[in-house]
Structure 1
Amino acid sequence: MPDPQRQAIVEELLPEATRQLIRTADALDDEEYAAPSGLPGWSRGHVLAHLALNAEGLAGALRGILEGTRTTMYASPEARDGDIEELAAAGPTEIRTRLLDATTDLADTLDALPDDQWDTTFDRTPGGRTNAAGDVPRMRLQEVEIHHADLASDYSYAGWTPAFATLLLDGMQPRDETADAFQVRASDLGRTWAFGDGGPTVTGTGAALGWWLTGRGTGEGLTSDSGALPQIGAW
C-alpha cells in the first residue's frame, strides 16, 4: 500500500497536471505537432502519442486487475515503440482524441480500483518490470509532468510545483553503480538528497535538480561546490 500522505499529494496534483497537458495539446497548431520536441528523434506528436498510449496501457493493466485477468501495459517493447510511431503519424486530431479519451479512462479506472487491490502487481511488458497498482498515480504524474516539459512549448520544468519536485527527488535512485557519489540540495525546498556516500553537493531549485537528474538539460541554474557537476550515470 502506498504511503497515505504521499498518495494524497499525488492524487491532488495529477488532475491539474493532466488538465494543463490537455490544454497544451489542444492549443498547439497542427503544424506544431510535427516540430521537434526536447527528446532526440521525437516530434511533439511523438511525445503526445506516447502520453496517450501510456495512459491506455496503465488503464488496461488496472482493468485487468479489476477483472481478475493479469494484463501487461504493452505487448512488448517493440510493440510499444511501433504503436507510438503509428499514432504520431496518424496526425494531431487523432492524437488529441486518444489523449483525452485515455486520460479520462485512466482516471475512471483508478477511481474504480478497490483499496484492497492497491498492492496487486502488473508487468510493463511480459517478463518486464513489475509495478504495484498503487504506484500508478505517481508513475502517471511523473510521465505527465516530465513529458509535458519535453514538448518544448510554453510549459517547462520551471512550472513544476515544489510538491512535485519533492516527489520526483524522493523517487530518484541511481541505476548505474559506477556513477559518481554526490548530494543535491534544493535551495527552495530546504532539503538535501544523497546519491551514494560523500561527493560534491549540487545546489539549485528542486525543479532544476529534478530536470538534470532525469538526464535532461546541461545543469542550467545548478552549482557544484567542486566546481563541476558530477557524472550522474543512467537514471
Structure 2
Amino acid sequence: MTGTVRTVADARAWARTGTELMLDAVADLDGTGFSASTALPGWTRAHVAAHVAANADALGNLVHWAVTGEETPMYASAEERAEGIARGPALSADELRSWLTASAHRLAEGFDGLTDEQWRHEVVTAQGRTVPAAELPWMRAREVCVHAVDLATGATFADLPEGFLAALVDEIRDKRALTGLPGRPLPELAAWLSGRPHPIAEAPALGPWL
C-alpha cells in the first residue's frame, strides 16, 4: 500500500511547481525548438506541450462535472485525445505557448472555485476510474511535473519537489506491483519507475508510464 500521505493542498502546490517548470521550459522556444525530440519516443516538444495543454482542458471538463453534476467526460473519444496531441506540431510557437498557458490558468481557476463539498463529488477519468474531484490536482501534478522533464530543456527529476517524488514513487510502485526498490535517491527511482532515462544500472527495464 502507498505510504505517502498527500493532501489536495500538496497536490495543488506540486501542480503549480510543475506548471511553472513547463512554462519556463517553453518560454523562449521557437518553431525549431518545439520540433526538437523529447524523452518520449516519436514525440517532439510540440507534441508534449499540446498533450499537457489538452490535459488541462480535459481536467477542466471534470471540474465542470464536479460543480454541476452534468456528466462531462475528459475526452469525447480516444480519437479526440489523439487529435489534441497531433495538433501541437501544426501550431506556431506562440499559438502553442498561448494554449499551454491559458489552459493551465483556466484549470487553476476551476480548482479555486471548488467548494469543500464539490471536491468530494465523484467523476470518471479517461481510464474509467471513478474518483473524487479531490484527485484531480494530483492527476495534473503528475502530468506537468513529469512532462516538464520530458521536454528535455534542462529540468530533471531532481528539480521536482521531494514530496511529489515520494508520492509518485509510491503510486507507480504499487501499480507495477513491485515489492522492493533499489536503495537509490528519489529522483533516480522516479525516473526508473516512470520508464524514463535513469542511472540505475542494476534495475530491470520497465515500460513507459504516463
| TM-score range for the pair, normalised by the shorter chain length | 0.7 to 0.9
The structure having more radius of gyration, on CA atoms, is 1
1:177-224 CA-to-partner distances (Å, cap 9, x unmatched) read 6xxx5412xxxxxxxxxxxxxxxxx1211011011101112x41x36x
Identity of aligned residues (%): 31
The answer to whether 1:215 aligns with 2:198 is no
Greater helix fraction, Structure 1 or Structure 2: 2
Give 1:190's aligned residue: none
Distance across 1 between alignment mates of 2:63 and 2:153: 31
- Is the Cα–Cα contact under 8 Å of residues 22 and 144 in structure 2 kept in the other structure? yes
- Paired position in structure 2 for 1:158: 158
CA contact 2:17–2:145 (8 Å) conserved in 1: no
CA contact (8 A) 1:176 1:233 kept: no
Deviations 1:19-62 (A, max 9, x none): 22112111223211011111011100000000000001001221
Cα distance change of structure 1 residues 50 and 122 upon mapping to structure 2, 3 Å threshold: same
Tell me by how many angstroms 1:94 deviates.
Answer: 1.4
Alignment correspondent of 2:186: 206
Q: CA deviation at 1:233?
A: 6.1
Q: Which residue of 1 aligns with 2:52?
A: 51
- Cα deviation, 1:139-168, whole Å, max 9, x if unaligned, reads 111111100000111112121221221121
Quote the residue 1:230 is aligned against.
204
| Paired positions, count | 206
Shifted more, 87-96 versus 168-177: the winner is: 168-177
CA drift at 1:89? 1.5
User: Which structure 1 residue ranges, 5 or more long, are not aligned?
Assistant: 185-201
Q: Does the CA-based 8 Å contact 2:60-2:106 persist in structure 1?
A: yes
Per the TM alignment, residue 229 of structure 1 is displaced from its structure 2 partner at its CA by 1.9
Unaligned segments of structure 2, at least 5 residues: none
Provide the rounded CA distance (Å) in 1 between the counterparts of 2:208 and 2:153: 26
CA distance in 2, matches of 1:73, 1:213: 26
- Matched residue type, 2:43: W
2:32 is aligned to 31
Report 1 or 2 for greater relative contact order, CA contacts < 8 Å, sequence distance ≥ 6.
Answer: 2
Amino acid at match of 2:193: L
One-letter amino acid matched to 1:208: E
- Asked whether the 8 Å contact 1:175–1:233 carries over to 2, the reply is no
Q: CA deviation at 1:120?
A: 1.9
- Larger CA deviation: 25-34 vs 105-114: 25-34
Q: RMSD between aligned alpha carbons?
A: 2.3
Structure 2 residue 71 is matched with structure 1 residue 70: yes
| Amino acid paired to 2:37 | P
Match of 1:132 in 2: 132
How far apart in 2 are the matches of 1:40 and 1:65?
35
Cα pair distance change 1:171/1:182, threshold 3 Å: closer
